[in-house]
Amino acid sequence: MAIVYLDNNATTPVLPEVLEAMLPYFSEQFGNPSSLHACGQRTLAALKQSRISVAALLGCRATEIIFTSGGTEGDNLALLGMVAPGDHVITSAIEHSAILKTCLYLQRIGCQVTHVGVNSGGQVEPDEVRRAVRPNTNLISIMMANNETGVLQPVEEIGRIAKEADVWFHTDAVQAAGKVPVSVEQIGCDLLTISAHKIHGPQGAGALYVRRGTPVHPQFHGGNQENSRRPGTENIPGIVGFGRACEIAGRGLTDGSLEHIRLWRDKLEAAVLQQIPETGVNGAGAPRVANTSNIYFDHAGGDSLVVALDERGIAASRGAACTNGDAEPSSILMAMGLSGERSRSSLRFSIGKTNTEQDIDHLISVLPETVRQLRESSAFDPASQKVVTHG
Ligand SMILES: Cc1ncc(COP(=O)(O)O)c(C=O)c1O
């Protein structure tokens, strides 16, 4: 059975063009870019080219890119590298665990952290950020697009607030890159995280943009790579693939492919709302990236629905892959005001470059009956509003 993969916010398949670019760097082009001989210098040239390609996607200088192992490391480096005990950090309730758990660590080492909430559309209110600023606020970290709902955050306004308050501003753009234009100048951020495997590049590569003059302290100690800000021999095949993926993502912003994805997403949502009772789109009223749809199916347990769809060859998810297996409802949806029950019955469908309209049509043809069967097999007690799912 061919899999219809609709979990592209968890990870994306590496595109053939990306794999092709990477392959030589596993074999004949194996040199260490820090070596002076020709073998090393050839990979150094590839490293430089990838840095230019990543910088082009973000509208920054190549020298402002630090290659990392992915989004988690970029987020950690941005926070841990900028903040010291006694500092105050402002973040939001809907960040990825790479931010939230790093903030927990910061609290343990004597930092203060304020988590601003979101409105029912899933957006941070800039005024709340402004009000949260204290004399010892050192960093604001608010994501650009949410991983579960795709809701875009008002990062440009927050960038202005940070500037006025003379506070550093980091944004996690892992789920925004390739889906909307990302310009560090327009956002006015000092630090920005992206990850290769969310844009059809390989897993294990990413970058942190660090504006010139931003004093980020390395979290690893060792060699002089990445201007000593991220020591360690570079993951050259990964970085080459990442560079190529950024070039493709950049082209995708203007070649109409995102518009197709948006149309398919809208088609899916319209069909669900029309054909399946007691459903709704989380974050529907807010600006969203084109590829993400988060839908609640009342009285159908989300995890059971993921499994039932998987049995029918469709890959979707309840939310962040890193928190899957948590029986907990999504804290992101709860922050938007959803009940625990509705949050548990919500599913995320995320479309990527390798999907086709047929994939969406297949999902639309399977979903109503799957939800109906699941609801039927659940004992729903309307008095207590509790759902007990059997099996
Ligand atoms: C918003 C966001 N930030 C950070 C990450 C972590 O990225 P990585 O998997 O590359 O460590 C993810 C991954 O799901 C994400 O969605």
- What distance in angstroms lies between residue 155's CA and the mean position of ligand 1's atoms? 18
Share of the chain above pLDDT 70, in %: 95
Residue 380 or 259, more confident: 259
* pLDDT of 227: 94
- What is residue 158's predicted lDDT score, i.e. its pLDDT? 98
Lowest mean per-residue pLDDT among 13-27, 125-139, 246-260, 313-327: 313-327
pLDDT computed for residue 390 by the predictor: 31
In this predicted model, what pLDDT tens digit does every residue of 30-40 receive, in sequence order?
Answer: 999 999 999 99
What are the φ/ψ torsions at residue 282 (nearest 5 degrees)? -75, 125
Mutate which of 174, 179, 191 for ligand 1 pocket (most atoms within 8 A of beta carbon): 174
Q: Give the CA-trace dihedral at 348, 352, 357, 359, to 10 degrees.
A: -60
Residue 381 has pLDDT above 50, yes or no: no
Is residue 322 part of the annotated active site? The answer reads yes
**Of 167-181, 204-218, 229-243, 371-385, the least confident:** 371-385
pLDDT tens, 308-328? 999 999 999 997 665 555 568
User: Which residue from 7, 72, 94 has its CB within 8 A of the most atoms of ligand 1, so it is best to mutate?
Assistant: 72
- Residue 177 Cβ < 6 Å to ligand 1: no
Residue 327 in tokens: 């029986």
Q: Is the CB of 172 under 6 A from ligand 1?
A: yes
Question: Within 13 A of 226's CA, how many CA atoms are on the CB side?
Answer: 29
Residue 378 has a pLDDT of 78
Average model confidence (pLDDT) for the chain?
Answer: 94
Share of the chain above pLDDT 90, in %: 93
> Would you say the CB of residue 129 lies under 6 angstroms from ligand 1?
no
Whether residue 136 is predicted with pLDDT greater than 70 in this model: the reply is: yes
- Find all residues with CB under 8 Å of 32, minimum gap 6, and list them: 39, 40, 43, 233
Answer whether 298 contacts ligand 1 (Cβ < 6 A): no
pLDDT, average across residues 4-21: 98
DSSP H helices in 199-319: 236-252, 257-275, 302-311
CA distance 68 to 225: 11
Q: What is the pLDDT of residue 1?
A: 74
